[in-house]
Chain A
Amino acid sequence: MTKTVTDVICPFCGTLCDDLEVVVSDDGKELFEVYNACAIGAEKFLHSQAKDRITRPRMRQEDGSWKEISYDEAIEYTARMLADAKKPLMYGWSSTNCEAQAVGSEIGEAVGAVMDNTATVCHGTSLIAVQDIGIPSCTLGEVKNRADRILFWGCNPAHAHPRHMSRYSIFPRGFFTGKGHAGRKMIVVDPRPTDTASLADIHLQIEQGHDYELLDALRVAFKGEQLPDFVGGIPKAKIYEVAETLKSGRFAIIFFGMGVTQSIGKNHNIDAAIAVTRDLNEYTKAAIMPMRGHYNVTGSGQVWGWLFGFPYAVDLSRGFARYNPGETTSNDLLRRDEVDAVFVLGSDPGAHFPFSSVKKIYNLPSVAIDPHETPTTEVCKVHVPVAFVGVEVGGCAYRMDNVPIETRKVVEAPEGMMTDEEFLSRVLARVKEIKGV
């Protein structure tokens, strides 16, 4: 027999959908079906059921093969590696719960690590801009109920956040948005004709790398000042039209993604987009929100925000928190040989970092904590498989709009597997023993 668990949270993308239904066996040991999730979300749940799943830690041997080791041995290796290093990098933290992030932070403090999360290759630049000029933001609920001008800048939710448009931004009928899609004007800024852009009322097909200039042009247009004939390939008449469209709405929201956060200008692009939002508030209500990728990268920024005062790239090596992206960011540290050990949890730098950085990880003492086999586990010395957060263990996660949502356990992890939090707590205890504190 089976049972259906309702109101399940999807631990995949920053949309953190909370309406999934999951069919599991009566004893809670097997998971059969996932309803309401998009394809990538459902896949995450079904993955936990893979028959060839790795359930015990492994250590790389001289000849490159893996040897199974116990959790105790993995804990010992990890604690020794971190305690011996002068400046270890503890990276990832975006696909795990806040409880594990908090224990990891304690380890980081004890060993003088640099703590960095996936924002470093994603929305970290947005966080720099927020620190520089602040951010007028809102929740996705407000977007659903109020927003009638939706601007997607350098992001493609149709593929990266598949249910974002149907649940919050474009299609739903909310309290003041009873007409749903028909009552909203959708603008997309993207050099490519994406599936998201194909739904837009206005698609500004900007020349690659001119986002900063176009954002500045919008600000000039709001003020009614003169513009050059073209900005980033967009004719000025079109820019004035978009400025008018945004001003004439009752509630405008700008969503932005890696097309602007990781292209030339980086934090400056977001800085200018926030300035556009601020300007719009002179005429109507406007807000702006980053399309955060991993389901709990926002949470790791929150946890470090309240523990250390900074949301990513936190250097604890001197016993106090320092933060300077460009220096304390993972790729800069690896590129410049500033760290002497690498610990990865809840991310896959092997797949997302430049090859030169991955090579550096390969050459250093390194541990990867991940339920899956990934390109990262391939280059690390020890791989510790753990239970899937949000599937096999619950815990807190923050949605892209900074709303905390408690994820749920729906199925048992394979016999004898540890969770992130359990593993980290054991490493912390061992680190304290080694350091004699």
Chain B
Amino acid sequence: METVTLTIKNQPELYLEADNITPDAFAGKKAEEIAALHVYIGREQHQLGDFFEVSGGAGATPEETKVVVNGDLSRVKYIGMKMTGGEVVVNSNADMYVGAWMQGGKITVNGNVDAFAGTGMKGGEIVVNGNAGNYLGAAYRGDWRGMADGKITVAGNAGSDLGTFMNGGEIVIGGDVDVHVATHAEGGKIVIKGNAKSRLGGQMVGGEIYVLGNIDVMMPGFAYREDVDIEMDGIKGRFALYEGDLGERHRKRKGQLIYAKLYQQIGA
């Protein structure tokens, strides 16, 4: 695997839209060619090289390309957008849309990500070693097909509107989450190792939520069913199983309604 290293040298006035920072856009290119790729500030078009020091070179394909981005990227949007393979390592905080509409490969952020990371994700993996903002792994505005596949892991906390319209894939949050989790979800799995506030699984059709900590307010549409023992992916213990959202429409299997499931840990 070949490595391209980008180091930010000029901070943008306003914000930089850098949807070209992906193994896909870099693949098969030399450092000078990569530096000539477009970025935008508002309506102005600039070159990647105006803001970044580019070194190394890309592999022939996205899969053979690793991109390392250094320096303060808290005003850089769209890193890893729509990437299909290869690897991106961000050694900083990053702004909005990290890995949005991602299809494959891996993004590691050694810092925090702002809102809309993993929007409409179709595959691949995002690892955030800090906190995530709102709308992590959610659908884009107006899209009823949210995250379809892939995995997002956040070491810290996540904001509100996690996994809206989620259809598949997995999101694991090491810390706490804000309100509205898996709204309208039809599938997929969300694990919250810390505490949750309220509105978990509102209007949820299918899929699973696991909460290891507290839930401030349970949705009235979730009914307690039974206690179960669970052991999977490093989670082990006794959980209370709730089903819902009883107010929402649900599919049937063998004449039985299939509800979304919410597991809350109650013992070791």
Contacts and interface: CB of A to CB of B under 8 A. Distances in A.
A86 B135 contact: no
Interface in B28-76: 40-44
Interface stretch (A43-51, A186-194, A336-344, A394-402): A336-344
Contact of B180 (A112, A131, A265, A279): A265
B142 A271 contact: no
Contacts of A218: 247
A216 interface: yes
Contacts of B217: 210, 213
Interface in A193-216: 210, 212-214, 216
B202 A216 contact: yes
Contacts of B219: 213, 216
A275 interface: yes
Interface string A74-101: 0000000000011100000000000000
B43 A317 contact: yes
Interface string B67-105: 000000000000000000000000000001000000000
A279 B249 CA distance: 10
Chain B interface main SS type: loop
Given A112-B43, A132-B144, A268-B199, A327 B247 contact: no
A326 B142 contact: no
A264 B179 contact: yes
A214 B202 CA distance: 11
Given A324-B116, A324-B140, A325-B141, A213 B220 contact: yes
Contact of A223 (B15, B17, B198, B247): B247
B14 A338 contact: yes
Given A212-B202, A327-B96, A223 B246 contact: yes
A412 to B, nearest CB: 40
B141 A323 contact: yes
Contact of A337 (B14, B183, B218): B14
A121 interface: no
B13 interface: yes
A135 B44 CA distance: 38
A128 B184 CA distance: 14
Question: Which of A128, A265, A323 has the most CB atoms of chain B within a 10 A radius of its CB?
Answer: A265
Given A326-B116, A326-B134, A132 B17 contact: no
Given A223-B246, A271-B183, A340-B14, 9 more contacts: A86-B13, A131-B142, A214-B220, A216-B220, A218-B247, A225-B246, A268-B180, A318-B17, A318-B43
23 contacts: A86-B13, A86-B41, A87-B43, A132-B144, A212-B202, A213-B199, A216-B219, A216-B247, A217-B220, A217-B221, A219-B247, A220-B220, A220-B221, A223-B246, A227-B220, A275-B247, A319-B43, A324-B140, A324-B141, A326-B134, A336-B15, A337-B14, A340-B14
